[in-house]
Amino acid sequence: MTVTLNIYKRLAAVMGEVSYIQKERKRGMNYTIVSHDSVTAKVRPALLKHGIVYFPVRCDHQHNGNRAECSMTVRFVNIDDPADFFEVPTFGYGIDQQDKGPGKAMSYAVKYALLKALGLETGDDPDLENIDHNPVDVIGGAAEDAKAKLMACDRLDHLAAVWKALPNELRSMPEVEAAKDVRKSQLSEKEAA
């Protein structure tokens, strides 16, 4: 049986995989940045893996000289249930002497929607920080906890109660269901003896 996770559980799984994006120095700049392309390259594979797509659903813009500004809403959608989504309001600014200002403003807004929705850290040099940027397996950790609770049951009625209390997403995971079946078999043999 396939596990169907809601948008927030999917988001948590992505957050567990992608936790840090290093700033980079672009040619001709005296400072480091996190570019739209580097954010997209880092998060897109994890979002797709966990069944999340995102796109702008509203974009208001204005120009002030060579500065383009946009106010945007980015929607993150569960691909298995399009009615399951959340939206992130965001803003972007782009300065360009020609016609690229609006695109820069939109890219800036989407980049920050991704960074903030996923709680991503950015930094100049990870070697200078004492932060562990290793991913955390959120879903797998919950499954391991569920299996441990099931295996700790000492009576069949206790096993049934623990099983019933587990969320549907965990009960439908094959490894969790297998742990329940193994423990049920063990307890049945113990009670029959």
Give the residue extent of every domain in the chain. Answer: 7-128, 138-192
Rg (CA), the chain: 23
Q: Would you identify the CATH topology of the domain 7-128? A: Enolase-like; domain 1 (3.30.390)
Q: What pLDDT does 8 receive? A: 93
The model's pTM: 0.61
pLDDT values of the chain reduced to their tens digit, one per residue, 193 residues: 456 889 999 999 999 888 777 777 766 667 777 888 888 889 999 999 999 999 999 989 888 888 889 999 999 999 999 999 999 999 998 888 888 888 888 988 999 999 999 988 876 544 444 555 455 555 667 888 888 889 999 999 999 998 888 877 788 888 888 999 999 999 998 888 7
Q: Residue 63 and residue 126: Cα distance in Å, rounded?
A: 37
Phi and psi torsions of 136, nearest 5°: -115, 130
User: What is the Cα–Cα distance from 119 to 130, expressed in whole angstroms?
Assistant: 18
pLDDT at 85: 96
Which string of b and e fits 40-78 if b means at least 16 CB within 10 Å? Answer: eebbeebbeebbbebebeebebeeeeeebbbebebbbbb
Q: How far is CA 190 from the centre of its chain?
A: 43
